[in-house]
Amino acid sequence: MKKIDVAVIMAGGKGSRLRSITNDEIPKPMVSVDGKPLLEHQVERLKEYGIKKIVMIVGHLGEKIMEHFKDGKDFGVDIDYIVEKEPLGTAGAFCYLKDKTDAKDFLLIFGDVFFDIDFDRMEYFHFKNAALTTLFAHPNGHPYDSDLIRTDESGKVVGFDSKHNVRDYWYDNMVNAGMYIINRELLELVKEPVKIDFEKDILANQVKHGANIYAYHSPEYVKDVGTVDRINATVEELRSGLIASKNLKNKQRAVFLDRDGTMNISKGFISKAEDLELIPGTVEAIKAINKSGALAIVITNQPVIARGECSFEELHNIHNKLKTLLGEKGAFVDDIFYCPHHPDKGFEGEVPELKFDCECRKPKTGMIEEAVDKYNIDLSRSYMVGDSTMDLETARNAGVKSVLVETGFAGNDGKYDRSCDIKAKDLLDAVEKIIKDIK
């Protein structure tokens, strides 16, 4: 497998939102995070991954950065610099970068981001898709004021959704985290040092022309620490061990969630977004999972697709509504896995190619197995929450703890054994009991 060994750090920002602690005496990337400059945290993580050369693009007070890191030897890497005399945006210095490295693919990281991720997984995704650029993307608790990415099922980027747009529609909580793997072909698009924005002027244009731009979706820790409050939150999460635990090299704990009757009010099979209505307490429950460090993963059978009652497009709109409603209140699910199949035939308008006995439909464990592979989940430390005995049987089949809520079917569907590890009034009660069980 190919191995990326060059990283570029955009370290030229002024950091006006951090003026109260920088006093305009140090550049934003040198702000202290738990007693160490943010840039130094970045360099350490990159070195651990195997990065041998780092190019820092500096501007405002860049001499402070160069005085601290020099040639990088004291930090175990080779560091070179590009000095912007005038701000060139996030891509204007690409014309100089061509002379600093001959690497075919390299990492690009913004200097105000704190991260701890398994780069090998992102790199594998990049090369598997022969991507021109791979963006690190994840959900966050404030998608309403974030620039969002729109992708197809494979992860290929099909558009960008600016935070300045009037969003009178349901949207996916897929945020651009400010970390990329870039093929050097993109450098050829910047012929001279002019102010240019990487996402708006380069990536968006490439997406319009169908270029292989992909989003790597991961729940790992990548956070903009461009405000004092965010720095304080990062320090707390760093000291608690949460940041390191989110790295996918480490086994993850997951709370698998049924959808209908567990998160949203049961109304039979939902085939349009307007029918989705969250059960009271759902937002608070998901926020509690998010805070705990566990993954919140939806596992749902959606036979309405095979039965011809709902299109894939409308199902995605339903799920976008779920993500939007959660995001408006500071909560998010890490992923949604759904089974579109149904084994029984005879429905008017059914989709024949989806009518078979699959391995993903609950109580089989195909969706959970896919999540385990994607996120390195430890099933022995995980839970399945649902309102039906089918969810409980899924939990038993997968080897996770079973949690029954009294909403929806309340376990009265009569299909499988009703016994479970935890009983709860609703999802919020279930999550509170799960967190107590973890402790």
Catalytically active residues, by annotation: 258, 260
Identify whether the C-beta of residue 88 lies closer than 8 Å to the C-beta of residue 15. no
- The strand pairing partners of 183, in sequence order, are 105
Euclidean distance between CA atoms 128 and 155, whole angstroms: 12
Euclidean distance between CA atoms 395 and 414, whole angstroms: 16
Euclidean distance between CA atoms 438 and 422, whole angstroms: 12
What phi and psi, each to the nearest 5 degrees, are found at residue 86?
-130, 145
Euclidean distance between CA atoms 326 and 54, whole angstroms: 38
What letter represents residue 142's amino acid? Answer: H
What phi and psi, each to the nearest 5 degrees, are found at residue 269?
-80, 120
Euclidean distance between CA atoms 57 and 59, whole angstroms: 7
Look at the alpha carbons of 339, 341, 344, 345 in this order and tell me if their dihedral is positive or negative. Answer: positive
Closest C-alpha among 332, 333, 352 to residue 343? 352
- The strand pairing partners of 156, in sequence order, are 214
- The strand pairing partners of 109, in sequence order, are 9, 179
Euclidean distance between CA atoms 357 and 364, whole angstroms: 10
Give the contacts of 338 (CB within 8 A, at least 6 positions apart).
298, 300, 301, 302, 315, 319, 367
Q: CA dihedral defined by 350, 355, 360, 364, rounded to 10 degrees?
A: 110
Two structure tokens written together for 34: 């738990």
